[in-house]
Amino acid sequence: MHTGEGSSAHDPHRDIPEATVARLPVYLRALTSLAERNIASCSSEELATAAGVNSAKLRKDLSYLGSYGTRGVGYDVDYLSYQIAREIGVTHDWPVIIVGIGNLGQALANFSGFSSRGFRTVALLDAAEPMQGRTVAGIAVRPFADLAEIVTAEQVSIGVISVPAAAAQDVADAMVEAGISSILNFAPAVLNVPDGVDVRKVDLSIELQILAYHESRKAAEAEESVDDGSGEGVSA
Amino acid sequence: MHTGEGSSAHDPHRDIPEATVARLPVYLRALTSLAERNIASCSSEELATAAGVNSAKLRKDLSYLGSYGTRGVGYDVDYLSYQIAREIGVTHDWPVIIVGIGNLGQALANFSGFSSRGFRTVALLDAAEPMQGRTVAGIAVRPFADLAEIVTAEQVSIGVISVPAAAAQDVADAMVEAGISSILNFAPAVLNVPDGVDVRKVDLSIELQILAYHESRKAAEAEESVDDGSGEGVSA
DNA sequence: CCATGTGAAGGTTTTCACAGCT
DNA sequence: AGCTGTGAAAACCTTCACATGG
């Protein structure tokens, strides 16, 4: 295990904590929103509020990228936006394919936020006969069998899976085989992928169940507090 | 801050860590999948594999609920399923409303996983005139103005927001006002809610950007390793 | 004998609080 | 004078490794 490939201990180019990485896109969105309101600069406090975090966390997060603020003043919105976009790697667009053009796949294909935030949907794939030849969001639906060809031709490294759970692993295998190394999985299934391939999952029922857990607790607390006035709240 | 409301230090009824709560639904899904394959019992190792975590973590997580396994043997699938479902609070169904019946809202309404995992969509709401009177997934779309009435009548405490970002805060305010205390937010916007209201967010472009970050790093590493043979992989 | 359940160790993340720069 | 950037402390989460009990 080597230590740093020609980067001084302090230089901003290795080892951004995962928790920070997960928040950078949120900061970027907050900055975009400030820019749209013609706000040219902001304090860590203001940006933190816009991003829904506290300012100490925001400053610590930004410190991993470098020193892009001005002490006593704050941050230049455009400059910081660019630095974060560069760190994330969305200064140029990433080609993306979506496999599984059911209700969810169609919603994803139509989702404008995809294209406006550094991603370009280059193909929609579906295995079902009836989908062939249809066009969704201006993009033709192609047979699943074309996967490898498309991935190679368009240099795709990110794939979205929106097929039913039962088909998800097969799709993931085919994606990896074709050369994709990052997968966003909407199917409620655990995917096995080799090392070097990243998977992130979005699972709607899991999110609801987490809410249900806290909701149950609130109900239980309300019952208890017949003789206990304290109302503790949970929030994210 | 009090400590425990009549529960002994060891009794399974307070203080399940948030990280554990977020995994319980995953375990529940893995157990359901085992049950469907007629597997009546399993070891922590097997269940952990099915859930995509390591077995130590699984055992630690389950230990917060109580001792529902048998040493030397493993876990009874049905029994553990029930215990987890009870802990989460999904032994009975939760009524849910969806506000914003665009592409995504329609996909959510049609999503069978919602109804099969402890949730029942009791109403679809949309502010747009052209949506009124339409039916999605067998449920009539109603005007947004009916929100409070529906929440009260159906005792809804969980709401899903799938409107454009610009409208999200207003919808959240109306939900809170109507009595909803848990929100699943699909709009790419930070929501301000009072204490006691839970918000979870699902943001598609954020997930993609996190993948893009790691993808950029992989590319950078590949370039570096012209004179360095080590191939470190990242995976989730 | 075997797999669970769990203290204790090791990491990571968050928060604090203030030194340092503009 | 004020806000950033950051060590150090506290909180939280994961992993280890083994005592415990069926």
Residue B114, pLDDT score = 85
Which parts of B37-164 fold into alpha helices (H)? Answer: 44-51, 55-63, 77-88, 103-110, 112-116, 147-154
Q: Residues of CATH 1.10.10.10 domain(s) within chain B?
A: 18-87
Model confidence over A207-227: pLDDT tens digits?
999 999 999 999 887 777 665
Q: How far apart are CA A186 and CA A172, in angstroms?
A: 12
Which parts of chain A fold into alpha helices (H)? Answer: 18-36, 44-51, 55-63, 77-88, 103-110, 112-116, 147-154, 165-178, 204-224
Residue B227, pLDDT score = 55
What's the pLDDT band for A9 if we cut at 50, 70, 90?
A: very low
Chain B, residues 195-214, CB within 8 A of chain A, namely: 195-200, 202-214
Residue B84 vs residues A207, B13, B15: alpha-carbon distances, Å: 15, 13, 15
Residue B83 vs residues A216, B137, B159, B172, B197: alpha-carbon distances, Å: 14, 32, 26, 32, 26
Q: Does B100 count as an annotated binding residue? A: yes
Residues of B in contact with A89 (CB under 8 A): 212-213, 215-217
Give the rounded distance of the alpha carbon of B147 from its chain centre: 23
Distance between the alpha carbon (CA) of A56 and the C1' atom of D9, Å:
15
Domain spanning A18-88: CATH 1.10.10.10 = yes
Residues of B in contact with A204 (CB under 8 A): 108, 111, 113-114, 184, 202
Residue A222, pLDDT score = 78
Residue B43, pLDDT score = 98
Q: Is A165 exposed, middle or buried (0-12, 13-18, 19+ CB in 10 A)?
A: middle
Q: How far apart are CA A126 and CA A74, in angstroms?
A: 48
Residue A113, pLDDT score = 87
Residue A226, pLDDT score = 64
Q: Is A203 exposed, middle or buried (0-12, 13-18, 19+ CB in 10 A)?
A: buried
Residue B220, pLDDT score = 83
Mean pLDDT split into 10-residue runs, chain B, 236 residues: 37 80 98 98 98 98 98 98 98 98 97 91 97 97 98 98 98 98 98 97 97 94 64 42
Chain B, residues 97-156, CB within 8 A of chain A, namely: 102-104, 106-108, 110-111, 113-114, 116-119
Residue B236, pLDDT score = 38
What is the CATH architecture of B94-205?
3-Layer(aba) Sandwich (3.40)
Mean pLDDT, rounded, of chain A: 91
Say if the Cβ atoms of B209 and A113 lie within 8 Å.
no
Q: Residues of CATH 3.40.50.720 domain(s) within chain A?
A: 94-205
Q: Is the pLDDT of residue A109 over 80?
A: yes
Q: Is the pLDDT of residue A12 over 80?
A: no
A6-20, A25-39, A171-185 — which is least confidently predicted?
Answer: A6-20
CA torsion through residues A42, A46, A48, A54, sign? positive
Average pLDDT (A60-88) is 98
Say if the Cβ atoms of A210 and B108 lie within 8 Å.
no
Q: In the Cβ-directed half-sphere of A122, how many Cα atoms lie within 13 Å?
A: 20
Residues of B in contact with A116 (CB under 8 A): 205
State the fold for domain B18-87: Arc Repressor Mutant, subunit A (1.10.10)
Q: Is the pLDDT of residue A230 over 50?
A: no
Distance between the alpha carbon (CA) of A44 and the C1' atom of D16, Å:
40
